[in-house]
Amino acid sequence: MPDSMTIVRHVVVFGRVQGVGYRAFVAEEAERRGLAGWVRNRRDGTVEAVLSGPAERVADLIAACRRGPPAARVERIAESDGAHLLSDLEAAFAILPTV
């Protein structure tokens, strides 16, 4: 895919991903890549994120999410289209409250 093609991906990260700085890790990595979207904890122990930007950069961030920060243990990531979860007004990256 060309780098200029904008995509929106929804990811749910399973494993030891809460209480280990995972949301901050995703937010920092997204901002470093110039991506828009959000990340939040879910009550079921997963972390959920919506990532929007050039396809190559989004794929690169998803690869980083598979590693996570040092204290995390990522078991798996569920990935799907996320266009319906991102408002046109969201131009930056945010950490949202737990749902």
- Residues marked active site are found at 23, 41
CA 77, chain centre distance (Å): 10
DSSP class of residue 97 equals P
For 74, half-sphere exposure in the C-beta direction (CA atoms, 13 angstrom radius) is 21
Q: Residue written as tokens 């959000």?
A: 38
- Rounded to an integer, what distance in angstroms lies between the CA atom of residue 23 and that of residue 26? 5
